[in-house]
Amino acid sequence: MKNEIVKLDTIGYRNFGLVTGAIFIVIFGMFLPWVFSFNFPIWPWILAGVLAALALIIPKGLEPIYIVWMKLGNVLNWINTRLILGIMFYIIFVPVGTLLMLIGKVPISKKFNNELGTYRKQCEQKDKENMEHPY
C-alpha cells in the first residue's frame, strides 16, 4: 500500500502551520529543556513564529514544508512498522512458541492432511431452548 500525500486546502495548510508550530514550542521549547534541565532554546520559538506567520498570511506557502513533512512521516512510518512488528515477534511470539514446544503443548490440534478438504469444524445445531437462558 502506497501512502499518498493528501493535498490540503487553505484551511488545512493554516491548521498544519499553527499546530506544527505549537508542537515545536511545546516539545522542543518547553518540555525537553525542562526534563533535561537545559537552557530554554530560542530556535523553536522562531520556527513556530515563522510557521504561524506563514499560516496566517499565506497558508499556501506552507505546501512545500507540508510535503517534506509528510514524506518524512511516511519514511518513519515504514521504518517504525517493521521495527515494532519485528520486536514484538522476537520478544513475544518466539519465546511463547518455544516455551509451548518445550512443554509439549501445541496450540494447533491438527497436523497437515492432504486428504482433508478443510479443517473447519461444523457447528452443531442449537435448540431454541438454548436461547432462553444464554448465560
Domain ranges of the chain: 10-77
Q: What is the CA radius of gyration of the chain?
A: 27
What pLDDT does residue 95 have? Answer: 94
The CA distance from 79 to 1, in Å, is: 14
Per-residue pLDDT of the chain (135 residues; tens, 9 = 90+): 577 888 899 999 999 999 999 999 999 999 999 999 989 999 999 999 999 999 999 999 999 999 999 999 999 999 999 999 999 999 999 999 899 888 988 766 666 777 877 777 777 777 777 777 776
Sign of CA dihedral 28, 31, 34, 36: negative
CA atoms within 13 A on the CB side of 60: 1
DSSP 24: H
Q: Whose grid coordinates read 513564529?
A: 49
- Residue partners of 59: CB distance under 8 A and separation at least 6: 10, 11, 13, 14, 17
In which element (H, E) is residue 75 found? helix 63-88
